[in-house]
Amino acid sequence: MTKIYHNPRCTKSRQTLALLEEHGIDADVVRYLDQPPSEAELTEIIRLLGIEPKQLVRTKEKLFAELGLKGAELSEAQWIKTLADHPKLIERPIVVHGNRAAIGRPPENVLEILR
């Protein structure tokens, strides 16, 4: 099963979804701004990506500064809660394919997990 955490307003997200379709992958599209992932889902996504929670944060997003997160020293659990509470801060798009995941920046990154 393949899932893409998608923002239709994002060019990279649209390109990644198109790339999946070009490769015959019928992905479950999750509009994560409308259906934010839970803390448990985020924890699993981060594990599959093999990154720290803070690496999934869009630090250039205006909301990041508005929330006073620049220079913040948060625990992994606190970063995950922040992402769950403010899905706009989640890096996008994220593709989960089986037990692997990739961030589609650039979109071709997801081809690695489809093999």
The residues annotated with a catalytic role in the active site are 10
Local structure of 19: helix, strand or coil: helix
Q: Are 85 and 108 in contact (CB under 8 A)?
A: no
- Give Cα separations from 14 to 10, 31, 39, 50 (angstroms): 6, 12, 25, 24
Local structure of 97: helix, strand or coil: strand
Distance between CA atoms of 54 and 20, rounded to whole angstroms? 26
